[in-house]
Chain A
Amino acid sequence: MESGEKAACRSRRVSRVLRIGFFQYMAQYMKTKLQYRADLLVEFVSDLMSQAANLVFLLVVFGHTSLLHGWTRDEILFIYGFFLVPYAVFGAFFNIWDFNERYIVRGEMDRVLTRPVHSLFQVILERMELESLLGGVTGMIIMAYAGARLHLSLHWYDIFLFILFVLGGALIYAGVFVSLATISFWSDARTSIMPMMYNISNYGRYPIDIYHRVVRYILTWILPFAFVGVYPASYFLGKKEWYGYAFLTPIMGIIFFAIAVCLWNAGVKRYRGAGN
């Protein structure tokens, strides 16, 4: 009886901490962002430019060929547009590119660990970059453009599937990159894996059947970036042969994110702090 009350009291306190923590982080976030207003604009423009760069690649390539392994220009544009949406969600909430530098080498992790909220949750809140969500808007514009040219027909429930696929894709991204960030707990060396992994993740937005089966296997089961772009997008393009994979998207997302959280927890346990 008494322990039950204690537990209830504790869970109330935890939820209060979470609530206060979240809003305080938000307020702090707005303040720091507005401090560097000019930079906010530059960041937004740079996001647009990075998408423009990828679009330029596609458009230039399709200036020399009309089909990519049986896929038309508009289908590939649609896949790219879709890919941008989960990627934007990931970018907004999992800005952990510099986790090693910022938290391990400079010892910020020690501060995070003294607080009563899960450390990964804190790191996510501290490094939130909500302006990345704008990239998702660009993605939807590209999808609308390509979709209109392809005369795609949508059902009423497709919007729910879209949300589900986007969340699944974002979780896959988060799973892979959080797992990579946890390497820092074991070795505080600087690594070039993250930017390289970013390059690999881009291949999920091309039709998976252009790759050798080994690469296809890797992009499906080991670094499952195909679930961020081509698989779920195939559903909306009505490519029936990929439907099975499309519906696996949210499940893969949950599995990979769960693995990442387990690795994170194991890493935190092993973490000895900066300095001595």
Chain B
Amino acid sequence: MDKYLEMIRIRFLMMLAYRTNYYTGILIYAINIAAYYFLWSAIYGGKQTMQGMSMEQMTTYVAISWMARAFYFNNIDREIAMEIREGNVATELIRPYSYLGMKTMQGLGEGIFRLLFLSLPGLLLVALFLPLRFPTDAHTWIFFILSIALSFVINSELNLLAGIVTFFTLNNEGLLRAKRFVIDLFSGLILPISFYPDWAQAVMKYFPFQGISYIPSMIVTESFQGQAIIDGLLFQFVWCALLIIPIRLLWRAAKKRLVVQGG
């Protein structure tokens, strides 16, 4: 356990060394949210609510989704792909820890760093000039924190899956890009799932994507109440557990047919 905590710490410190880069990131993040705010204002066009959400809730939804994204987003799929292409994965595999576990911990270190140095200052900056409304109820915050932790797990599991697929295709830049776009769209990052037509919502119930962004954002904007919160968290839990199965199976198959290029 200690070694995994150490991995989080080291990745965090590694990111910390480059923190100056994030000052511009905060500014760009703010511009990003603001532009979405204007887009949604135009979409609301004076309407009080759309799909049960007020303009204020929608603004908060957008700001929080992007903040959360900085936390759960990581490039471990790309890192795995690169380590396979360069053959480094061979040395990683003989080390005394789980390779996938290490990757996840590095992603967590990175996420915590971005949360502290990008998301929180960015959110404060945005709150200065946009009408955001945060919940005052402590329970909502607890549910949100739980939900966002599960978001990280689901997103990392999907990243690990995509990374492992690299073992079979060797160069899967296109696949990684496609995965990113599917997640941006169907996770509810750019559009709450409740805006989709009913049939699409029904289909999306069978995919893990809304567990990444939609559920935590709906919880924190208080668009989910009571049973909806519990259902959302359960949905996330179930997917966290389910996704372990394909990862295990693929990882076992991948190790068997690992070809270290140039080796």
Contact = CB atoms under 8 A, between A and B. Distances in A.
Contacts of A159: none
Interface stretch (B166-174, B225-233, B244-252): B166-174
A189 B174 contact: no
Interface string A52-82: 0100110011011101110000000000000
B21 A193 contact: yes
Interface string A37-61: 0111111111001100100110011
Interface of B: 17-18, 20-22, 24-25, 28-29, 31-32, 34-35, 38-39, 41-43, 45, 47, 50-51, 114, 118, 169-175, 177-178, 181-182, 184-185, 190-191, 195-197
Chain A interface main SS type: helix
A218 interface: yes
B21 A189 contact: yes
B45 A61 contact: no
Given A49-B181, A53-B181, A196-B29, A64 B51 contact: yes
A192 B21 contact: yes
Contacts of A69: 42, 45
A64 B21 contact: no
A37 to B, nearest CB: 10
Contacts of B35: 200, 203, 211, 215
A86 B113 CA distance: 36
Given A57-B191, A191-B21, A193-B24, A212 B34 contact: yes
Given A45-B178, A189-B17, A203-B35, A39 B25 contact: no
B39 A210 contact: yes
Contacts of B172: 39, 42
Nearest to B24: A193
Interface in A196-245: 196-197, 199-200, 203, 206-207, 210-212, 215, 218
Interface of A: 36, 38-46, 49-50, 53, 56-57, 60-61, 63-65, 67-69, 187, 189-193, 196-197, 199-200, 203, 206-207, 210-212, 215, 218
A60 B20 contact: no
A215 B38 contact: yes
B32 to A, nearest CB: 5
A39 B173 contact: yes
Given A57-B185, A210-B39, A36 B177 contact: no
A42 B17 contact: no
A169 to B, nearest CB: 18
B69 to A, nearest CB: 10
Contact of A200 (B18, B28, B47, B190): B28
Nearest to B190: A57
A33 to B, nearest CB: 10
B21 A190 contact: yes
A60 B22 contact: no
A210 B36 CA distance: 10
A69 B42 CA distance: 6
B100 to A, nearest CB: 22
Contact of A45 (B21, B31, B174): B174
Contacts of B39: 203, 206, 210
